[in-house]
Structure 1
Amino acid sequence: MTDLNRLFRKRIGYPENETITFEALKTVLEKAAVTIPFENLSIITKNTKEITRENLIEKLLVNNEGGLCYELNPLLYFFLVESGFDARLIRGEVFNNEKNAWSDLGRTHVAILLNHDGETYLIDSGFGGNLPLIPVPLTGEIVTSRNGEFRVKKEETDFGDFILEMKLKNKHSNWNIGYAFDSKHPVSHVCEFDEIQSILIHKEESPFNKRPLITQLTKNGNKTLTNTTFTKMVDGISTKEEIDSNGFNEYAKLHFGMEL
């Protein structure tokens, strides 16, 4: 077992002696969602590094930090491949449902496609609070997890040939577009994600270069911390607490286990 495999299992609390089957992926995705935060602190603090296997291990598994999609999904991809799965990384374009328009950032979302028994599935551990928590087949079939309903539709756009749609629990009454992705042009090397990181650091349209954000699913909801608020959703009931800048580090440690 490689260091990555062993450390990933330790981080999410998955036994070292258990084989990761396709049926076990739901458990892996659930455990990853509640233990590894989606956060942008390295961008805010200007403490980013090149995206490599070694740097991802150090950041996410040794230092126990979180990350964004171009960090979280490559780490999961390495773990899946080393566990014997046929997987590949892909890029996509996020849809802004409030503006009813595609983002102005290009294909800056990263996700995974996995082949199993002749079927292809979308897997994503880096989409903030919008995680399917389950492999989503590319057949249009609706799958359900505790986070809501999800489906992947075949639809040609300027950004690829498929679209992820979601109906999040306690949030959406209708289907919302998550992102479009390109199944025909997989990522050849994770060094491609240095470009994504640069875009998210420097572009004015980036939602990740303006204020700190940490968000994570919990067993019965989710929690989100910014430099001004701490919001918690528990069993469909949301509460928001105002904080000052001095409280951010304290809340990050208390609620996300992050030493800043």
Structure 2
Amino acid sequence: MASIDKLFRERIGFPEHERISFEKLDEVLEKIAFTVPFENICVMNKSFKDISRENVAEKILTRGEGGVCYELNTILYYFLLENGFDVKMVGGVVFNSKTQDWSETGRTHVLNLVNHEGMQYLVDSGFGGNIPLKPVQLNGQEVTSSNGEFRVKEEETKHGDFVMEMKLKHRHDDWATGYAFDSTTPITDVELNEIQKIIVESPASGFNKGYLATRLTSNGSLVLSETSFTKRIDDREVKEQIDRDRFKELAKEHFGLKMGD
């Protein structure tokens, strides 16, 4: 198998021989968000494999699919490792804005922390349309991207020592909680597969109820479900009601995903 670095660069359209410095991570994260969809087709089809370096590379880099957080941030983790970054994967618990409580699935969000010049930064490409598109320092300092404003503040909860907050462009007027996470304990391969099992099987999982694909664009986002296709361009939103045949067409056209029959 070719190095993840080479295949990853090809997938997101990043020059093969350009050094990826910490300052280049903004560009890398944007390219991931625009080219690799957040999607749950393997979860819904129960066609998933164990989470490992080889399996996520085959799925995302060879087959050209996307994935959910434990796939997208795992492949990003190995890419960052191969480019010399001091990185670790940790686990978090998503805040449910509808119930105003923490997710019943528990610690099932996976994210990356990068240590750079003695400071830690959140680097997350697996939070659907809610991703910062930039490293976010773990000191409460706000960062702004085309997707909105983001910050990570130190706050003790039952789920960890930090909380990621967001103010998404054209969606939030005030800060909203994204997730809490534990910065001290790296996630193991065993835990990654336990997380996948919960997402696939748990009645509380939001990703085993219906097909979903989403990705960001340079001026908005695309969200595809089994019944609708929503295209957001700046502050305008266009929603189309669809059937299964149209879903398959759109999945291929806008996300590069083949659904089968």
TM-score by length of 2: 0.98
Hey, what's the Cα distance between the residues in 1 that align with 2:123 and 2:3?
A: 23
The DSSP-based 3-state class of the residue aligned with 1:185 is strand
Aligned length: 259
Hey, what's the Cα distance between the residues in 2 that align with 1:195 and 1:8?
A: 26
Hey, what's the Cα distance between the residues in 1 that align with 2:21 and 2:202?
A: 40
Give the structure 2 partner of residue 26 of structure 1: 26
The DSSP-based 3-state class of the residue aligned with 1:182 is strand
The DSSP-based 3-state class of the residue aligned with 1:19 is coil
User: Does the 8 Å contact 1:74/1:190 carry over to 2?
Assistant: no
The DSSP-based 3-state class of the residue aligned with 2:194 is helix
User: Does the 8 Å contact 1:163/1:178 carry over to 2?
Assistant: yes
User: Does the 8 Å contact 1:56/1:75 carry over to 2?
Assistant: yes
Deviates more, 1:31-40 or 1:1-10: 1-10
Contiguous gaps of at least 5 residues in structure 1: none
Contiguous gaps of at least 5 residues in structure 2: none
Shift of the alpha carbon at 1:2?
5.2
The DSSP-based 3-state class of the residue aligned with 1:184 is strand
Give the structure 1 partner of residue 243 of structure 2: 244
User: Does the 8 Å contact 1:52/1:191 carry over to 2?
Assistant: no
Give the structure 1 partner of residue 102 of structure 2: 102
The DSSP-based 3-state class of the residue aligned with 1:183 is strand
Hey, what's the Cα distance between the residues in 1 that align with 2:159 and 2:83?
A: 30
Hey, what's the Cα distance between the residues in 2 that align with 1:259 and 1:191?
A: 29
TM-score by length of 1: 0.98
Runs of 4 or more above 3 Å deviation: none
Deviations 1:164-202 (A, max 9, x none): 000000000010000000011112x33321111110111
User: Does the 8 Å contact 1:50/1:191 carry over to 2?
Assistant: no
1:208 maps to 2:207: yes
RMSD, aligned CA:
1.0
The DSSP-based 3-state class of the residue aligned with 1:5 is helix
Give the structure 1 partner of residue 74 of structure 2: 74
Deviations 1:230-252 (A, max 9, x none): 00001110010000112111110
Shift of the alpha carbon at 1:43?
0.8
Hey, what's the Cα distance between the residues in 1 that align with 2:167 and 2:26?
A: 18
The DSSP-based 3-state class of the residue aligned with 1:132 is coil
Hey, what's the Cα distance between the residues in 1 that align with 2:245 and 2:98?
A: 31
The DSSP-based 3-state class of the residue aligned with 1:78 is helix
Identity of aligned residues (%): 54
Give the structure 2 partner of residue 143 of structure 1: 143
Q: Which letter does structure 2 place at the counterpart of 1:185? A: T
After TM superposition, list the pairs within 5 Å mapping 1:36-51 onto structure 2: 36-51=36-51
User: Does the 8 Å contact 1:153/1:163 carry over to 2?
Assistant: yes
Deviations 1:81-134 (A, max 9, x none): 110000000000000112111110010000000000111000100000000000
Shift of the alpha carbon at 1:61?
0.2
Give the structure 2 partner of residue 115 of structure 1: 115
